[in-house]
Amino acid sequence: MTDDHDDSLAERVERLHDALRATEERPVEREASRWIGEAQAVAGDASDVATTGGDAGVVRERVGHVADLLANVEETGDDAADERVATARELAERIADGE
């Protein structure tokens, strides 16, 4: 993963949302798809809050929910989707922790 400490919170949350959105193009198992879809929706909401100058605490809390949702995804049935979920999980954890 790239060093994103110089990126704004909004940029990091948008990158998280993009990683999850990219799984839409992959053949993901149904159970994993459900968790990823919900995580993607919450990440999109957090991205909207971040890009409109919303409270960083609210953004981090919502991204924490994304991390919790992604914790339910062990594998997707697709290697490329697994990589995107792993990237999203790492980003979510770092953002939620204030890194």
Looking at residue 97, its pLDDT comes to 94
Q: CB of 88 within 8 A of CB of 20?
A: yes
The predicted-structure confidence for 36-88, as pLDDT tens digits, reads as follows 999 999 999 999 999 999 999 999 999 999 999 999 999 999 999 999 999 99
The answer to whether the predicted template modeling score (pTM) of the entire model surpasses 0.85 is yes
The predicted-structure confidence for 12-44, as pLDDT tens digits, reads as follows 999 999 999 999 999 999 999 999 999 999 999
Work out the number of other CB atoms within 10 angstroms of the CB of residue 75: 12
